[in-house]
């Protein structure tokens, strides 16, 4: 377990901007995230202070160097889960490490991969869930399936073992992308992984089965969606952060309703521009600094 004062999820403009502020203030800062979508070879010509066109890749590279110059640790790691502890700290699990942080800034964008199940919306709240920490308890001892192909799906399935032993993973026809460590844990837990594709769900009034592409049915009372990588919305749901649709609710200081959790960038659903993300990241960093300082003062009182 590694300890840090502030952990930032996402290495895009919002996350790097927050890191520049927290690290410059002397806070131990970890930025967990790999190359963001913006870091591509396309042109940006509407960002303040750059009269010449700059590529997304170059802009992010400059932001990374700046954050590192102030002491931020940039870790190319995928965050799989974030849990709030009883002591006010946060336990963050990545595909490579585990961290304990006093403040968390969510700046992970809005990407969410849909599983391609035709009537999935009809069963949301009636068997379908996007959050094991939120809803796993309701499926104690029941048969459940997880849809997803990577480490995020594996981690969700392993978390479900706290509630039930009857678990299977379906990759929806995608090639399995789980690390050897997670694959070994799944094998030890007796959780099978199938490449079959679930195309629709059945049951009345709640889910009782998943129908596969070949027409066969798999009995299941719960289905947890964990396609691709965990999204900002997934972290918000786990932590009990208020959301509106696909976005996280944050106030003018980028504070969420959960003390110590801040959100910035596209995941809050404002004007989705780099300049806005950078500004929101700065405000989130400032709010995180104030939060950690308040915790330190209370501890010393």
Section 42-65 average pLDDT: 90
Higher pLDDT: 269 or 86? It is 269
Section 47-56 average pLDDT: 90
Residue 40 has pLDDT above 80, yes or no: no
Section 179-201 average pLDDT: 96
Per-residue pLDDT at 112: 61
Q: How confident is the model at residue 86 (pLDDT cuts 50, 70, 90)?
A: confident
Q: How confident is the model at residue 171 (pLDDT cuts 50, 70, 90)?
A: very high
Per-residue pLDDT at 198: 97
Residue 111 has pLDDT above 90, yes or no: no
Q: How confident is the model at residue 228 (pLDDT cuts 50, 70, 90)?
A: confident
- The dotted CATH code for 120-225 is 3.50.50.60
C-beta separation of 45 from 92 below 8 A: no
What confidence tens digit (pLDDT) does each residue in 246-263 have?
899 999 999 999 999 999
What confidence tens digit (pLDDT) does each residue in 112-128 have?
678 999 999 999 889 99
- Out of 155-169, 228-242, 273-287, pick the least confident: 228-242
C-beta separation of 142 from 166 below 8 A: yes
- For residue 265, give the nearest of 257, 254, 251, 252 by alpha carbon: 254
Q: Delimit the CATH 3.50.50.60 region(s) of the chain.
A: 2-111+243-300, 120-225
**Class of the CATH domain delimited by 2-111+243-300:** alpha beta
pLDDT > 90 in the chain, percent = 76
Q: How confident is the model at residue 36 (pLDDT cuts 50, 70, 90)?
A: confident
Section 138-152 average pLDDT: 95
Q: How far is CA 266 from the centre of its chain?
A: 13
Stated pTM of the model: 0.83
- Out of 109-118, 223-232, 283-292, pick the least confident: 109-118
Per-residue pLDDT at 71: 98
The C-alpha R_g of the chain, in whole angstroms, comes to: 20
Per-residue pLDDT at 301: 55
The per-residue DSSP string of the chain comes to: -EEEEEEEE--SHHHHHHHHHHHHTT--EEEE----TT-SS-EE--STT-SS-EEHHHHHHHHHHHHHHTTPEEE---EEEEEE-TTS-EEEEESS-EEEEEEEEE---S-------TTGGGGBTTTEES-HHHHGGGGTTS-EEEE-SBHHHHHHHHHHTTT-S-EEEE-TTPPPB--HHHHHHHHHHT--EE---EEEEE-SSS--EEEETTS-EEE-SEEEE--SS--HHHHHHHHT--EETTEE---TTSB-SSTTEEE-GGGG-S---HHHHHHHHHHHHHHHHHHHHHHHHHHH-
pLDDT > 70 in the chain, percent = 98
Per-residue pLDDT at 297: 87
Q: Average pLDDT, whole number, for the chain?
A: 93
């Amino acid at each position: 377990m590694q300890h840090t004062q502030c952990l930032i999820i996402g290495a895009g403009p919002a996350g790097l901007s927050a890191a520049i502020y927290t690290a410059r203030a002397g806070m131990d800062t970890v930025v967990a995230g790999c190359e963001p979508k913006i870091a591509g070879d396309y042109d940006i010509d509407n960002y303040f202070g750059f009269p010449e066109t700059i590529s997304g890749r170059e802009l992010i590279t400059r932001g990374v160097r700046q954050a590192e110059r102030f002491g931020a640790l940039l870790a190319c790691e995928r965050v799989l889960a974030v849990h709030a502890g009883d002591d006010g700290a946060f336990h963050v699990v990545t595909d490579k490490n585990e961290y304990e942080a006093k403040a968390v800034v969510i700046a992970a964008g809005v990407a969410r991969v849909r599983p391609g199940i035709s009537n999935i919306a009809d069963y949301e709240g009636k068997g379908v869930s996007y959050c094991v920490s939120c809803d796993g308890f309701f499926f104690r001892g029941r048969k459940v399936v997880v849809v997803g192909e990577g480490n995020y799906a594996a981690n969700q399935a392993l978390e479900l073992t706290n509630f039930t032993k009857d678990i299977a993973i379906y990759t929806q026809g995608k090639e399995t992308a789980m690390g050897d460590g997670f694959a070994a844990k799944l094998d030890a837990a007796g959780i099978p992984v199938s490449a079959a594709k679930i195309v629709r769900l059945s049951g009345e009034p709640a889910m009782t089965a998943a129908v596969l592409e070949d027409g066969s049915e798999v009995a299941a009372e719960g289905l947890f969606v964990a396609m691709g990588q965990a999204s900002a919305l997934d972290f918000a749901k786990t932590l009990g952060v208020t959301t509106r649709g696909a976005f996280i609710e944050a106030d003018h200081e980028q504070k969420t309703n959960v003390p110590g959790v801040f959100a910035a960038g596209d995941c809050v659903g404002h004007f989705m521009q780099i300049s806005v993300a950078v500004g929101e990241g700065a405000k989130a960093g400032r709010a995180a600094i104030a939060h950690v300082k308040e915790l330190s003062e209370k501890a010393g009182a």
